[in-house]
Amino acid sequence: MGALIALVALGGFEPAGASGSPRVDAGRALSLADAARDAGDLEEADRLYRQAWDDPRTRARAADALRGLERAGRSLPIDEPAVAQTAAILGAGFARFESDHFVVLSDAARGAVRAKIRALERTYDQFFRAMDRLGVAAAPPTHRLLCVLFQEHAMYRAFAAAHDGVDAGWVAGYYAGLSNRAVFYEDATGPAFADAHESLRRAEADLDDARAAADRARRDRDTETDRRVRAQIHRAQVRLAAERERLDRLAAGTSVAKTVHEAVHLLAFNTGVQSRQHEYPFWFTEGLATAFETDDADRAFGPGRSGSTRDAIVASNAQHGADLPLRVLVSRASAPDATAEQTEAAYAQAWSLFEFLHRTERAALAGFVGDVLAEPPGRMTDDRRLALFEARFGDAERVERRWRRSLEAQRGRLAGAPGSP
């Protein structure tokens, strides 16, 4: 599976009370919000709690209360203008699907869309559970979140280039910060799976020659040749069916992992964990999303629970000195894009670093979230990204040495596990 890339544009996490209603101080907002909630005015309570969320001193209490409104029965509204604008771009043939927290526009089969929505809703649940464990005050989004699912890769790629400025030739899905939507396609129609299925079709066609040879042998009453060739055809058909089934499973698992990854971007930038008014370090944005990747959304997943295959990439690059020094990694706003392999390696490194910090420096990791939110909106220099990292986690070289030792210990445990080569 190729690297999963989020296009993060500066575009504005919608601040609390953005409707133009008068503002009051955070403590007063909490009191007024509680009164509105108790009176049954959940919309006014939501507005005031979001206003209190803006203040770091009342953020945790406000986030808790906002999630309480959901439990009390307040459903997220739909940003109809945003949905209508995207629907107008897509044109006829795209149906609208709604769930508790998402709106999906798609031309794919209904069953595929329902599966996508199940994965999205599971990600919503697991995201908030993970933020609770991390100690980050995440607020429910202001609106249901918008996703687009294309049946065909070619249409997805054309849409990405024309309307989100994304070269999606090998990108498996993306989050567009400016339009605030996640965009996917049905993985079975992507180049890799399409090529694999085309190879299977050619192999199936080649069996026609074998069938013709068996038919000739039967007409010539060459029983032995007829029997032998038909046995070969049967074995080939069994292998082809098994490979087709394997590809279908792989496409389904890839689809889930991609959906989860991009849904995490969508959630992070709409729950206050990240702000679209800020430019984030690559390691944090992609480390967070890759830490949730899973091919089975029915099981618990998220940081500390991932069984990512990226550890093999990290181990290989570390062994061959092909990875980025930590000081460089934490300074970057984006992944290296010289080659797909370098980009994939950087994503694996971001995943590994995020998981390491989540395991060993969880309080500092939560503090880092607040540190970036406290920065002035706009772009950030490489030096500032490094300074923020070191202010929370310590000297980059020392952190790197600890991280490397952890990776070596992990490789040792894996090498000594039963069934290891």
Average pLDDT, the chain: 87
pLDDT tens string 42-77: 999 999 999 999 999 999 999 999 999 999 989 999
What are the residue boundaries of the structural domains of the chain, listed by start? 77-276, 278-421
Strands 102-106 and 95-98: antiparallel
At 24, list the tokens: 């009051």
pTM passes above 0.75: yes
* Cβ(169)–Cβ(178) below 8 Å: no
pLDDT tens string 7-44: 333 333 454 434 455 667 999 999 999 999 999 999 99
Say how far apart CA 278 and CA 373 lie, in whole Å. 7
Say how far apart CA 254 and CA 262 lie, in whole Å. 12
pLDDT tens string 269-322: 999 999 999 999 999 999 999 999 998 999 999 998 866 677 777 877 777 777
